[in-house]
């Protein structure tokens, strides 16, 4: 411990503190990003105008493919099928949001 303390005397602690702060902040940011993606998915499934809002917010989104997936999720729920399209919709929303500038 004393050796490390001696080495740290000559080191600027600001970059280390910034890296540690970013490291502790990371999981919270990931959870917030994941929650935002889930909110978009829920809005797309419950609100008819949400698709237009999502496409307006993310111009690189494929509107036709999103509309098809939303319809498929509604069919899936009506038939009590496994949530394959539900998960695919989330993956598509995530890829669109991650590709956004």
CATH number of the domain encompassing residue 80: 1.10.60.30
Residue 4 domain flag: no
DSSP 8-state symbol, 11? S
SS3 10: coil
Residue 27 domain flag: yes
Give me the pLDDT at residue 101, please: 61
State the Cα–Cα distance between residues 61 and 41, nearest whole angstrom.
14
Residue 80 domain flag: yes
Over residues 58-78, the mean pLDDT reads 95
Q: Evaluate if residue 26 carries a pLDDT over 80.
A: no
Give me the pLDDT at residue 22, please: 81
Residue 30 domain flag: yes
State the Cα–Cα distance between residues 14 and 98, nearest whole angstrom.
30
State the Cα–Cα distance between residues 63 and 57, nearest whole angstrom.
12
Q: Evaluate if residue 34 carries a pLDDT over 90.
A: yes
| Domain span at 64 | 15-99
Give me the pLDDT at residue 100, please: 67
Q: Which helix (H) or strand (E) holds 27?
A: helix 13-46
Please state which of the ranges 14-18, 85-89, 91-95 shows the lowest mean pLDDT. 14-18
In the chain, the number of structural domains is 1
Q: Evaluate if residue 10 carries a pLDDT over 80.
A: yes
DSSP 8-state symbol, 18? H
């Amino acid at each position: 411990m004393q050796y490390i303390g001696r080495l740290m005397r000559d080191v600027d602690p600001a970059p280390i503190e910034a890296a540690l702060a970013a490291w502790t902040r990371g999981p919270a940011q990931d959870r917030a990003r994941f929650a935002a993606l889930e909110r978009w998915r829920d809005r797309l499934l419950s609100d008819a105008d949400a698709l237009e809002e999502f496409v307006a917010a993310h111009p690189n989104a494929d509107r036709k493919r999103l509309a098809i997936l939303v319809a498929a999720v509604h069919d899936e729920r009506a038939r009590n099928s496994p949530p394959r399209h539900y998960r695919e919709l989330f993956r598509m929303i995530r890829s669109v949001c991650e590709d956004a500038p």
